[in-house]
């Protein structure tokens, strides 16, 4: 099976019980969770299985939890998939994409995303910010609203799909931009329960710390292209990976552009690996001709592998 495009989910996809069935069904997954616990010095496996939800949702825990889940699924289907033609991940998922591409080891990936989560949480405490999802409003109109605010910082942070944009910034600025978006015809504005203004200039201090964490890790050239959130261009070398992963923290996730760029590689199929199916839904909204398969539990893993065998 060749020519697959991989989609790796980001923060918000975590849930209590994630990975439990996979670990029960597949010894290799249990081993990954044990390795994660030993590497980080925390009970990540227990936290994923049992919660509590508030602790799992904490940025520094959610990010490694999602990375492990997605990587576990990859380990189970890798032989059937073969070398992907291209991959991308939404925010945190970009790190998972690079892990799968061999840009860094599993242990280094765990340490990097754990540190990333800690830095993002700390940044949110030092300069409080928030985010809101704006539905049913053109992205250019929303960007203009953000630019015209008289005070505070607010920017489009996640360009997820047509009519679905997330804004991020200072609390008052996000509140004012949300009100103006409603006046401009937004169908709905949903405040998000997050610990900071992610993918905005408010994350500048966190970006500095993340650069240091990446510099301390062994980073190599990815084995296949990983399309970056910040530029929607493929990354094929170690230096580019470092630069784009740091840049991502203060730049918008250009997910629509990412998908269009991935399409240019002509993948034969699209696979979302890990918890949830958010990216599968976004793919359909971005291009109705595209379909993705979501693989995240024993049933979907076994169905995928069974289909792969029948195709050979």
H or E element in which residue 230 lies: none
Query: Which residue among the candidates 69, 70, 90, 91 is catalytic per the annotation?
Result: 91
Half-sphere exposure of 174 (CA within 13 A, CB side): 28
199 is catalytic: yes
Check: CB of residue 197 under 8 Å from CB of residue 131: yes
Query: Which residue among the candidates 168, 199, 230, 251 is catalytic per the annotation?
Result: 199
Q: Alpha-carbon torsion 6, 11, 15, 16, what sign?
A: positive
Among the listed residues 292, 291, 293, the one whose alpha carbon sits nearest the alpha carbon of residue 303: 293
Residues 6 or more apart from 146 whose CB is under 8 A from it? Answer: 154, 155, 156, 167, 169, 177
Check: CB of residue 285 under 8 Å from CB of residue 161: yes
69 is catalytic: no
Neighbouring CB atoms inside 10 A of 68's CB total 31
Residues 6 or more apart from 143 whose CB is under 8 A from it? Answer: 155, 156
3-state secondary structure of 283: helix
Strand partners, 303: none
Residues marked as catalytic: 91, 199
């Amino acid at each position: 099976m060749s020519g697959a495009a991989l989609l790796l989910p980001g923060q918000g996809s975590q849930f209590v019980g994630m990975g439990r069935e996979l670990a029960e069904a597949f010894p290799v997954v249990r081993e990954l969770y044990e390795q994660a616990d030993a590497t980080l010095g925390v009970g990540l496996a227990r936290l994923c299985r049992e919660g509590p939800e508030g602790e799992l949702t904490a940025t520094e825990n959610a990010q490694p939890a999602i990375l492990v889940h997605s990587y576990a699924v990859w380990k189970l289907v890798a032989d059937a998939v073969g070398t992907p033609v291209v991959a991308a991940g939404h925010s945190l998922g970009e790190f998972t994409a690079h892990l799968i591409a061999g840009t860094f080891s599993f242990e280094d990936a765990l340490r990097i995303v754990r540190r990333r989560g800690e830095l993002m949480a700390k940044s949110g405490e030092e300069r409080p910010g928030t985010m809101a999802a704006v539905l049913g409003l053109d992205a250019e109109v929303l960007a203009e609203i953000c630019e015209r605010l008289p005070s505070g910082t607010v920017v489009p942070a996640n360009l997820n799909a047509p009519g679905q944009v997330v804004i991020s910034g200072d609390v008052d600025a996000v509140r004012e931009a949300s009100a103006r978006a409603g006046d401009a015809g937004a169908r709905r504005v949903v405040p998000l329960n997050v610990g900071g203004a992610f993918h905005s200039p408010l994350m500048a201090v966190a970006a500095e710390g993340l650069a240091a964490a990446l510099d301390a890790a062994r980073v190599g050239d990815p084995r296949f292209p990983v399309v970056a959130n910040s530029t929607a261009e493929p990354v094929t070398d170690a230096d580019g990976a470092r630069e784009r992963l740091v840049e991502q923290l203060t730049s918008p996730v250009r997910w629509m552009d990412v998908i269009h760029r991935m399409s240019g590689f002509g993948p034969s199929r699209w696979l979302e690996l890990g918890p949830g199916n958010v990216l599968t839904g976004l793919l359909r909204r971005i291009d109705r001709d595209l379909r993705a398969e979501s693989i995240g539990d024993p049933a979907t893993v076994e169905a995928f592998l069974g289909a792969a065998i029948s195709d050979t």
